[in-house]
Structure 1
Amino acid sequence: MNIRAATAADSAAISQLLTESWGSHIAVAHGVAYDATTLPAIVAEEDVRLVGLLTYNLKDQELEVVTIDAPTQHRGVGTALLDAATEVARAAGAHRLWLITTNDNLDALRFYQRRGLRIVDVRPGAVDESRKLKPSIPSTGAYGIPLHDELVLELLIGQHRHL
């Protein structure tokens, strides 16, 4: 597996992966609608085939992971992408890597916490508000859990991961 910064040549594959994973290129979190195809990205590839994608927004010495997709789980793709994003953040002098997930995303909560991210905020009703920007967000999420809230997780750069 090769992990690298995305290039213009990856645009079609990135667009396809985002549409398959998110239903569109638009990702909404904390009241902001991002067109993920316009964000910097890190890709994972095997045999020149895209097998993972992480998009991010680097601002004010913080790296926000906007989307992360590893369609085939338990192969190390998500971990490699997150590690690469941490290195991008570190190289940019960022003090924090952070992201938003939703209250139904139990698998993601397990994944992120096992990789050293901590839950630092819960925003009740934030997904309900995001639905105003992206009406296609379902009312019921993973495991049949009603989808209402955002959870903020962060990794402070320079601190060691505790697995």
Structure 2
Amino acid sequence: MKIRPATTADSLRISELLIQSWGSHIAVAHGVAYDATTLPAIVAEEGDRIIGLLTYNLEDQELEVVTIDAPVPHLGVGTALLEAAAETAKAAGARRLWLITTNDNVDALRFYQRRGMRIVEIRPGAVDESRKLKPTIPLTGAYGIPLHDELVLELRLD
């Protein structure tokens, strides 16, 4: 597996992966609708196949992970992408890597916390508000859990 920054040559494959994972290119969090195809990205590839993707927004000494996708679990793809994002953040002088997940995403909560991230905020009703920007966000998430809240996790880099 090779981890590298995405290039314009990856655009079509990135677009396809985002649609497969998110239903569109649009990811909504904390009241912001991102077109993930326009964000910087890190890809994991095996041979000529992209097997993982992380998109991010870097500003104000913070790297926000906007999307992270490792369609086949337990291969180390998500871990490698998150580590590469932390290195990207450090190289840019960022002091914090952070992301948002939702209250139903218990597998992600386990994954992120095992990699040193901490829950720093819970935003009740934030997903309900996000549906105004992206009406296709489902009412029920993983494990049949009603989908309502955002959880903010961070990794301090300083």
Aligned-residue sequence identity (percent) comes to 81
Amino acid of the structure 2 residue aligned with 1:133: L
User: What RMSD, in angstroms, separates the aligned Cα atoms of the two structures?
Assistant: 0.3
**Which residue does the alignment assign to 1:126?**
126
1:94 aligns with 2:105: no
1:31-50 mapped onto 2 (5 Å cutoff): 31-50=31-50
Alpha-carbon deviation of 1:48? 1.1
Amino acid of the structure 2 residue aligned with 1:33: A
Q: So what's the TM-score if we normalise by structure 2?
A: 1.00
**Which residue does the alignment assign to 1:112?**
112
**Which residue does the alignment assign to 2:76?**
76
SS at 2:93 equivalent: coil
Q: Distance in 2 between matches of 1:157 and 1:83?
A: 12
Q: So what's the TM-score if we normalise by structure 1?
A: 0.97
Deviations 1:75-107 (A, max 9, x none): 000000000000000000000000000000000
**Which residue does the alignment assign to 1:144?**
144
Q: Distance in 2 between matches of 1:8 and 1:37?
A: 10
Unaligned 5+ runs, structure 1: 159-163
Alpha-carbon deviation of 1:111? 0.2
**Which residue does the alignment assign to 1:17?**
17
Q: Distance in 2 between matches of 1:47 and 1:64?
A: 28
Deviations 1:41-65 (A, max 9, x none): 0000001100000000000000000
